[in-house]
Amino acid sequence: MKKGQIYTGIVERMEFPNRGIIYIEGEKAIVKNGLPGQEITFVVNKKRNGRCEGRVLKVERESPLETAKNRCPHFGVCGGCLMQSIPYSDQLRIKEEQVKALVGQVEEIKPSPVWEGYRNKMEFSFGDEVKGGPLALGMHRRGSFHDVVNADFCRITHMDFTRILASTREYFSERQVPFYKKLRHEGYLRHLLVRRAMKTGEILAALVTSGQTGFLEDRGMEEKELLDGWVEVMKNLPIEGTFAGILHIRNDSLADVVQSDGTTVLSGKDFFYEELLGLRFKISPFSFFQTNSLGAEVLYQTVREYVGDTKGKVIFDLYSGTGTIAQILAPVAKTVVGVEIVEEAVEAARENASMNGLNTCRFIAGDVMKVVEELEEKPDLIVLDPPRDGVHPKALKRIMEFGVERMVYISCKATSLVRDLEALLESGYQVERACCVDMFPCTGNIETIVLLSKGEVDSKKIRVEFSLEDMDMSEFQDGATYPQIKEYVLEHTGLKVSNLYISQIKRKCGIEVGKNYNLPKAEDSRQPQCPPEKEKAIREAFKYFGMI
């Protein structure tokens, strides 16, 4: 196979999470979003070190597995819900087989209690479906950085989400409010963040905009007037839930992410409540909380089962978010110490513990990699629930040095889990139990829980043997490669950056750079310096990859 060439073949299997595997004349190609049994036409867009990666151009024939008829009208176009055309029982089988292929034997997969309308959080993007077209609000078109698909119906969210979305788009469209163009960094409307509690029905809606309000001056209007009008539209919607708060978030970052440079409460408050396993949790706009509330109860019940007796024990809950796991384990524990980098989530965790009458929890705001160096207590048990990219190697090394007898690792990205398991097994841990909980029906993602223990493997424990030879491990290097940083910057800001610029910012941040890498050959040579907007974008990438 050659780069740029077009081929047609049948997807033989799907590797985690969405990698369709096709063989053309004995040569392997990885084609994202290809389902097992589909016949697809694809173009090879990458070939290096004998690996071919392709992009789907057309599905020539559906897979025999694709028998689900009641599909979302955006299926195949929107960037989510890869498996929606496959019956739920087959989705579960595929996911279980994928994790088995990575980590070995696992217990029977646990399904989500509901597989439709389960998501409690959505981040919608403003844009257009075609260049120069009318205002759109929804999800990015699959494989596109620019095009946005109007999501007037979504199978995995409550109808309240789409009512809020449709009314918001109509309101701003009628007023011809410009959306933020990522390449030119011009415009106003950026995102719509909606969170809805499954148990309480409380809703938090946040409009995310830039600070560019010059367009209002030509219309003799103030931003407050525009936003007040939107709030009135929201309050008059025929929704099943109730608004806990309606917010305005200003975001002037170059990165295409939802973050706050300033939050204003337009109505109500900036938080809402959700309930899990008899406990009550306060959730703010940026607090981490599992996106499937009912599935989270299954997940945390399983974690509690794996942890076992906690009476009188000191437990570290690392990457603790709003303290959900910590509080579930706290009632009979001596102490539970939660560590989380998002200060807003830590504040919520402290309030949640107080509200639930739990005085054995303590939460620390900070980077796990740094905080574990400072903790003086010796834990009896450690629970890890890291972000998708897993635990930073330096943090994992320190965690292993605690030498706890039992450790529970919760992962939403099985390939990151495999990378970390390799180090854990080398240090003397063994996998005692492992299972999957489906928190993300219709998508290619799955949550995996592993119980690790020290000592010899007995008849009840699982022997885990896996090979990393066939896996692309570039994403697991300490930090990120130059191509990964370039790709991240381009995807999130539309800016192209050079190796020279990346190495310059690495030095500014105190990150090690290869000897003489991109240094001028002559002492009097002058090099172009990284522009401020590109420096900011590169720093955002460093933060994403945990490098700073």
Tell me the catalytic residues. 412
Rg (Cα) of the chain, in Å, rounded?
24
Q: And the tokens for 307?
A: 């942890």
Residues 179/187, Cβ–Cβ less than 8 Å:
yes
Rounded CA-CA distance 468/1 in Å is 24
Give the list of residues 6+ apart from residue 254 with CB closer than 8 angstroms, or none.
185, 492, 493, 495, 533, 536, 537, 540
Closest C-alpha among 414, 366, 406 to residue 388: 414
- In the numeric block, which tokens belong to residue 270? 């900036």
Task: Report the half-sphere exposure of 273 (CA within 13 A, side-chain side).
Answer: 9
Q: Please tell me the chain's helix, strand, coil percentages from 3-state DSSP, rounded to the nearest 5.
A: 30, 30, 45
* Rounded Cα–Cα distance for residues 286 and 284 (Å): 6
- Cα–Cα–Cα angle for 417, 386, 441, rounded to 5 degrees: 75
Q: Are 53 and 47 in contact (CB under 8 A)?
A: yes
Residue 272 to residues 1, 191, 199, 201, Cα–Cα distance (Å): 53, 20, 11, 9
- Going by their DSSP bridges, the two strands 13-15 and 335-340 should be labelled as unpaired
Residue 166, CA distances (Å) to 172, 173, 192, 226 in order: 10, 10, 11, 17
CB-CB contact of 546 with 485 (8 Å): no
Structure tokens at 522: 């002559």
Give the CB-side neighbour count of residue 45, counting CA atoms within 13 A. Answer: 11
Please count the residues of the chain: 548
Q: Strands of 166-290 (E only): list them.
A: 189-196, 202-209, 242-250, 262-268, 272-276, 279-283
Q: Six-digit token pair at 514?
A: 């290869």
